[in-house]
Structure 1
Amino acid sequence: MFQPVSLFVGLRYAKASKGNAFISFISFFSIAGIALGLMSLITVSSVMNGFEQTLKNAMLDMIPHVQIKPKNDEVTTDFKSQLSQLPSVKRVQSYLTSDVILQTNDELLGVRLQGLFDNGTSLLESHIESGSVKQFQTEKYQLAISRYLANTLKVQIGSQVRVIMPEVTSYSPMGRVPAQRLFTVALIYNSRSEADTQIAFANGDSLARLMRKKSEEQLDISVSLYDAFSLEQFYLEFATLESKNYEITDWKVQQGALFAAVAMEKRVMSLLLGLIVLVAIFNIISGLSMMVKEKQGEVAILQTLGFTPVMISKVFMVQGLYNGLIGTVLGLIGGVLLAQYINEVMSFFGLSLLGGMALPVKFEIVGLVVMASLSILLSFIATLYPAKEAAKVMPAEVLRYE
């Protein structure tokens, strides 16, 4: 009732159902364009965030986030204790890995074999399909392989696989031969990630024995972070330790290219879908510009009633912002609902991913706020030119022949 007069008139213009049908269509199209563009942007971004999170959980949890190797082949207990107390560090364990060849009667396959110590099997437990964790932890020369590797090697629980280690050799009458040993398949897991094709796991003590590591001090250190993407924070904390005798590498060496590609794809998709919103924003400029031409007589009358050029500008800015705000709210609600029920929508239309996999969805509140804010900001910027033109209307010129 007591709202500013510019806001009152602007909302009346925005909500008016009568007038030029073409201008009304342009206004409707601008609202629909913003809503559809923002809805598509939110849905795609949420699904891409979900894929990134799934990759992170399935792949990065199976490899050290940070690997620390002693230069003098000796790790002190005090250093491991200091590492475990860093705020960003979740777990510190002994670590051992080697590139090996897995051999059966039918197949030969090269993988990276990683030794698991202490409670290291916890990273596999959520992906285990069959086998005994207790057997893997307590018995010697036990192996955990992915379902992909099991199918490729044609083995199952209880089968024996020969592990050949080219980097560890010994002399024989035939010359140098690589170290090798029969391992028993104790666990089969399925993480549904690229790690399934590259990595296998062995009982840590057995792998250390095969690699001729005589003490735990000769092993590397595996550091798991609460957030694998918080490497910068970890390096800042790590710099406070006495770490000159250690070499450090992180997960980006092995998997950085994959996650960089996912991030690039997400940015490109967001840019392309953002163009839909941008086109709708231009419709606001077109609709308002035509509205200014059509309403010149009314604008002149408002000026004779005491409206200043600034107040006239605000009238059309309110009208444009109204369209942008309605489109943004509809797009935000529609995008969140569509992303939340994307799998049900795909099922309704008979669409499905390979293997019946569901699309992962992850909402980022900051991202949603940024997208909605940019949409409203662009809508506001789009009103500036038409509002400026409306403020230039000269009442004497317009009303001369009225």
Structure 2
Amino acid sequence: MSKQYTPREMLEKLISFNTVSERSNLDLIHFVEDYLAGWGVGSILVPDETGKKASLHARIGPETDGGTVLSAHTDVVPVEGQNWSRDPFTAWEADGRLYGRGSADMKGFAATILAKVPDILKANLRKPVHIALSYDEEVGCFGAGPLVQDILSKGPRPDLVIVGEPTNMKVVTGHKGIAVLKTTIRGHPVHSSQLHRGVSAISAAAKLITWLDGKTAENRAGADPECPFEPPYTTLHSGTITGGQAHNITAQHCEFATDIRLLPEEDAESWIRDYRTFIETDVLPDMLAISQDCRIDVAELAYVPGLQEETDGEAEMLVRRLTGDNARNVVVYATEGGIFQHHGLSTVVCGPGSIDQAHQADEFIELVELDKCASFLDDLLEGMSQIDS
């Protein structure tokens, strides 16, 4: 039998695994696999193409359709360049807080789920509890899609999903989606005194970024004042750019990254299609008129659909009943919740800790948040259990 952990003890253990997205998460996954096996719970691993990362899912309870998925990601963001006061992968407590990378985002939820495994096993469940742990959420939610597909293909099919991102245990029913693009431009280099004979990749990039900024301005001007998001419109933002060789050479190369933060009812493909059309009709022809070597390539690096507010959603009604939170809460960051919902599962986001601490130096979670999450799971299990007469 595995050791029994408190949520705080389990969180300390999970923090000790350095699961920055650029690294493997297998040490943590194998720990969880062994821990569950020690309680007699089998689990299924869903590896990535390299075999260096994996998601994990497990079912506790009857082998029947229905039940609840408790979902968390195992990866964390980097710590380099941040002014941590202590080792970010060794948890420490101070003033009622537990510090460490991932404490809030989002190993606190995963830790509480795992610490509750003995209680889940003791419950006389009418429908199963599914545990789902993913990889690479922080760099594009790349692990969630294969994980959800594996859960659904292996069966039984769950009813609803609770994604435990840090919301201070408030019920979040909607979030924006995100599409990430990389635009690579090849120009034609000449001495800048002969500018008319060359094509500057940087100048072409400037036209494209101006178009993207203009679309954001159009969206802002036409925003619905009743929209609950802040900002209440889709944004198109270019966050990085590199290019050029010297001030007196027309740039042969330029590359920039863009993220499109979509209102959940909007389609990323329509924005990308309009962007490609602008390239093909308004920018590239003038470049090719000077040199046929010129080109513009757009790579779609990641896409996470938004989480749409559900009408009478089963997940929302359950979690509101358990938390007592009836406010309308939406967020502008993306989560794996949109992917679960995209696969037809009723989904909400609700978990311990504050998003304000996510990605920060000396990241922490209030220990009272772990207590609130543990009580929430107790109430969930009580509601899912068959009361003996």
Q: Could you tell me the TM-score, scaled by structure 2's length?
A: 0.25
More helix by share: 1
Q: Which has the higher contact order (CA 8 A, sep 6+)?
A: 1
Q: Could you tell me the TM-score, scaled by structure 1's length?
A: 0.25
